[in-house]
C-alpha cells in the first residue's frame, strides 16, 4: 500500500534525442512510495525512455549525455535505490556467463540497460549465494556458469529480473517482464509483485497481468507527448479513459453545433446593417469564447492495417518432417522420437516450459542444421525471432523492407506498405538497433508480409506488441496458406489462430 511520500516527480519535463522527434512535452506526474504503477502507451510513445530518465542519477539537472535535449526537472528522493529489469539483455553481454553478467552489472553500478541503477559501484560478497537466492525468487534453477546466449528467452527474462532484484531496490522498474515467460513464470512474477512492499513501475501489454496488482496508470500520449495520470486498477482506468474520450467528443459536438448556429445568425445580422451589426460583432466575440472551450480530444492509439502473408507458389507435399527433437532435461540435451508432418495450410503449436528447447528447434529448422528435423528443399522460410537477431541492427528500416521486397515493388508501394505498419518516413531512416522492441516487431511483420514464404516460423510473435495490433496480426497469420510452426505463451492469441497439431515438449519431462 502506498503512502503520501512522493519519491519520483516529473515537473514540465520535455525530452528528445538529438535530431529526433520529441518524446515528452512538459510531462508532469508523480509516483508515491509503495505504489504499483503501470505505464501505458503505443509502441514508440516513450515508455522505456521514462525508465531511462528515472534511472539516470543526474536527470534532475541539465542534460549530460550526448544526444539528449532535456528540460524541466526530474526529482528523485535522496538515498533510494532504483533497479531496472529491461526487455532484453544487451547484445554484447550475451557472451557472458550468468555470474559474469551479475558481476559486470554490479561493477558498473548502474548496469546499463540490463539491470542495476542509482547504486554505488561495489563488490557483493558471496555473489554465488546471492544469485541463487534471487533465482529462487524468480523460479529459475540453472547453473550460473551458463552462457547467456545459451538460455531460452524465458530464462533470459528471469535473469534480467533477478539482476534487478538482487539489490532489493526501493523502486523496481519492470520493462515487459512477462515477455517469453510461460504460464508458471507469469504466475510466479505476479505473486512476487503483489507481495513486494516497495514501489514497482511496470511496462506491459498483458492486461490481465497488469490488472492483478496495478493501483495507478501513467498514459503516454504519442500524439500530444503528454503524460496522463490515473488512479485505479488497469481495467478501471482503461474504461475511464474511454468514457472521458466519449464525454469530450459529445461536448465538442454540442459546442460545434452551437457555434455553427451562432455563425449563421451573426452573418445574417451583419448583412442587415444598423444596430444589428453591433449585435453581430458581439456574437462573433461570443463565438470566439466558445471556440476556446473546444478541447483537443485525445486521438486513439493507431492500429496497424490488415495485411496478408502470401504463400509461396508450389508449396505442396510434406513441407516439414520431424522424426526427433532435442529437449533439455536437467540441463542435459536428450533426443526424443516424434512423428510430425506438416503440409500446406497445416499448423503446429509448439509448447513446453521455458528452457525446454522450443527456440532451439525453431532455429535449427530455420537454418537447415537440424538432425531429426527436415524442411523440404526450396521452401522459402519466414522466421519471426523473439530477439529479432535475424534483422541487421545496423541497417535502416528502409533497407530491411527494400531487401524483403526485392524487385517486386516501387518506392511508392514500399512506403505505402510501411505506413500500414505505422512506419513513417522518419522511422524508415532509422537504424533497426535504435527502435523500441515493439517497433522492431512491426518491422519484422512488415518484412515477412513482403515475402512469399512456404513456411512461417513464429517465436512469441506477440512479445512487445501493442494489444491493439494483436487481432490484426492473428487474422493475417490465420489466413496464411502455407505451413506454420507457432510458439506463444499468449493463450488469447493462440485461440485466434487455427491449429492442427500440438507438440508439447514438456511431456518428455514426465517420462
Per-residue pLDDT of the chain (511 residues; tens, 9 = 90+): 446 799 999 999 988 876 667 888 889 999 999 999 999 887 778 888 899 899 874 444 444 444 567 888 899 998 888 988 888 888 889 899 999 998 887 765 443 333 334 444 445 568 888 898 888 888 888 899 999 988 888 888 889 989 888 878 899 999 888 887 777 888 888 998 999 999 999 998 888 888 899 999 999 887 788 898 999 888 888 788 777 777 777 877 777 787 787 788 878 777 777 777 777 777 777 777 766 665 555 555 678 999 999 999 876 778 988 888 888 877 778 888 999 999 999 999 999 888 888 888 888 888 866 566 788 888 999 999 988 989 999 999 999 999 999 888 888 999 999 999 999 898 999 999 888 888 999 999 999 999 899 999 999 998 888 878 889 999 999 999 999 999 998 888 899 999 999 999 888 876 5
List C-alpha distances in Å: 301 to 45, 298, 459, 466: 10, 9, 25, 9
Cα separation of 173 and 39, whole Å?
A: 10
Cα separation of 159 and 365, whole Å?
A: 27
> Is residue 117, in this structure, part of any structural domain at all?
yes
Write out the three cell numbers for 162: 533477478
Do 217 and 281 have their domain in common?
yes
Do 208 and 149 have their domain in common?
no
Domain membership of residue 270 as a residue range? 1-79+172-183+199-300
Regarding pTM above 0.85, the answer is: no
Do 288 and 147 have their domain in common?
no
Do 389 and 461 have their domain in common?
yes
Do 19 and 165 have their domain in common?
no
pLDDT of residue 170: 93
Q: What CATH number is associated with residue 52? A: 3.40.50.300
pLDDT of residue 28: 93
Do 237 and 344 have their domain in common?
no
> Is residue 313, in this structure, part of any structural domain at all?
no
Query: What is the edge-to-edge ordering of all strands in the sheet holding 171-175?
Result: 116-117, 82-85, 171-175, 199-203, 36-41, 216-220, 227-231
pLDDT of residue 271: 77
* DSSP string of 91-134, one letter each residue: GGGGGSBHHHHHHHHHHHSS-TTTSEESS---PPTTHHHHHHHH
> Is residue 354, in this structure, part of any structural domain at all?
yes
List C-alpha distances in Å: 81 to 17, 116, 167, 169, 214: 26, 9, 8, 5, 21
Nearest one of 438, 422, 426 to 39, comparing CA atoms? 438
CA 263 distance to own-chain centroid: 47
Cα–Cα–Cα angle for 291, 294, 295, rounded to 5 degrees: 150
Do 102 and 235 have their domain in common?
no
Q: What does the DSSP 8-state code read for residue 62?
A: S
> Is residue 347, in this structure, part of any structural domain at all?
yes
Question: Which of 271, 300, 329 is the last residue before a domain boundary?
Answer: 300
Cα separation of 74 and 489, whole Å?
A: 37
pLDDT of residue 115: 39
Tally of domains in the chain: 3
Write out the three cell numbers for 42: 503505443
pLDDT of residue 482: 92
Report the relative pairing of strands 373-375 and 483-487 from DSSP bridges. Answer: unpaired
Do 162 and 179 have their domain in common?
no
Do 391 and 435 have their domain in common?
yes
pLDDT of residue 511: 58
> Is residue 43, in this structure, part of any structural domain at all?
yes
Cβ-Cβ contacts under 8 Å for 268 (sequence gap 6 or more): none
Ramachandran sector of residue 322 (left: φ over 0; alpha: ψ -120 to 50; beta: rest): beta
Amino acid at each position: 500500500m502506498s503512502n503520501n511520500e512522493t519519491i519520483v516527480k516529473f515537473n514540465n519535463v520535455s525530452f528528445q534525442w538529438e535530431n529526433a522527434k520529441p518524446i515528452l512535452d512538459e510531462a508532469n506526474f508523480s509516483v508515491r512510495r509503495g505504489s504499483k504503477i503501470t505505464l501505458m502507451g503505443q509502441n514508440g510513445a516513450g515508455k522505456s525512455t521514462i525508465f531511462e530518465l528515472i534511472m539516470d542519477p543526474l536527470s534532475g539537472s541539465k542534460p549530460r549525455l550526448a544526444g539528449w535535449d532535456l528540460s524541466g526537472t526530474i526529482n528523485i528522493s535522496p538515498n533510494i535505490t532504483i533497479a531496472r529489469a529491461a526487455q532484453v539483455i544487451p547484445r554484447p553481454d550475451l557472451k557472458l556467463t550468468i555470474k559474469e553478467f551479475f558481476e559486470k552489472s554490479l561493477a558498473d553500478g548502474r548496469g546499463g540497460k540490463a539491470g542495476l541503477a542509482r547504486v554505488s559501484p561495489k563488490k557483493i560478497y558471496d555473489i554465488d549465494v546471492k544469485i541463487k537466492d534471487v533465482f529462487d525468487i524468480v523460479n529459475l534453477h540453472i547453473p550460473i556458469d551458463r552462457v547467456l546466449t545459451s538460455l531460452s528467452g524465458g530464462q533470459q527474462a528471469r535473469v534480467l529480473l533477478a539482476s534487478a532484484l538482487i539489490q532489493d531496490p526501493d523502486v523496481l522498474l519492470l520493462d515487459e517482464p512477462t515477455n517469453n515467460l510461460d504460464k508458471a513464470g507469469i504466475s510466479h512474477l505476479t505473486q512476487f509483485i503483489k507481495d513486494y512492499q516497495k514501489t514497482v513501475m511496470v511496462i506491459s501489454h498483458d492486461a490481465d497481468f497488469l490488472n492483478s496488482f496495478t493501483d495507478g496508470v501513467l498514459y503516454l500520449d504519442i500524439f500530444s507527448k503528454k503524460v496522463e495520470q490515473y488512479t485505479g486498477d488497469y481495467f478501471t482506468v482503461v474504461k475511464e479513459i474511454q468514457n472521458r474520450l466519449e464525454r469530450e467528443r459529445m461536448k465538442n459536438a454540442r459546442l460545434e453545433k452551437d457555434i455553427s448556429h451562432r455563425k449563421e445568425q451573426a452573418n445574417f445580422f451583419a448583412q442587415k446593417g444598423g444596430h444589428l451589426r453591433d449585435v453581430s460583432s458581439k456574437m462573433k466575440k461570443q463565438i470566439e469564447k466558445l471556440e476556446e472551450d473546444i478541447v483537443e480530444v485525445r486521438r486513439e492509439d493507431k492500429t496497424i492495417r490488415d495485411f496478408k502473408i502470401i504463400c509461396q507458389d508450389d508449396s505442396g507435399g510434406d513441407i516439414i518432417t520431424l522424426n526427433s527433437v532435442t529437449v533439455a532435461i536437467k540441463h542435459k540435451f536428450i533426443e526424443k522420437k516424434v512423428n510430425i508432418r506438416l503440409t500446406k495450410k497445416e499448423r503446429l503449436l509448439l509448447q513446453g516450459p521455458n528452457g525446454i528447447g522450443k527456440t532451439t528447434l525453431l532455429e535449427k529448422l530455420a537454418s537447415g542444421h537440424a538432425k531429426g528435423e527436415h524442411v523440404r528443399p526450396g521452401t522459402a522460410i519466414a522466421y519471426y525471432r523473439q530477439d529479432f537477431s535475424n534483422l541487421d541492427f545496423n541497417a535502416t528500416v528502409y533497407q530491411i523492407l527494400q531487401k524483403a521486397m526485392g524487385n517486386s515493388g516501387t518506392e511508392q508501394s514500399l512506403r505505402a506498405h510501411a505506413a500500414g505498419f505505422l512506419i513513417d518516413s522518419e522511422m524508415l531512416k532509422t537504424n533497426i538497433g535504435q527502435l523500441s522492441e515493439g517497433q522492431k516487431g512491426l518491422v519484422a511483420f512488415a518484412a515477412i508480409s513482403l515475402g512469399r514464404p512456404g513456411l512461417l516460423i513464429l517465436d512469441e510473435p506477440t512479445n512487445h506488441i501493442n494489444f491493439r495490433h494483436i487481432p490484426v496480426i492473428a487474422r493475417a497469420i490465420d489466413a496464411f496458406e502455407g505451413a506454420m510452426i507457432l510458439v506463444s505463451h499468449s493463450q488469447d492469441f493462440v485461440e485466434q489462430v487455427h491449429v492442427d497439431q500440438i507438440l508439447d515438449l514438456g511431456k518428455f519431462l514426465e517420462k
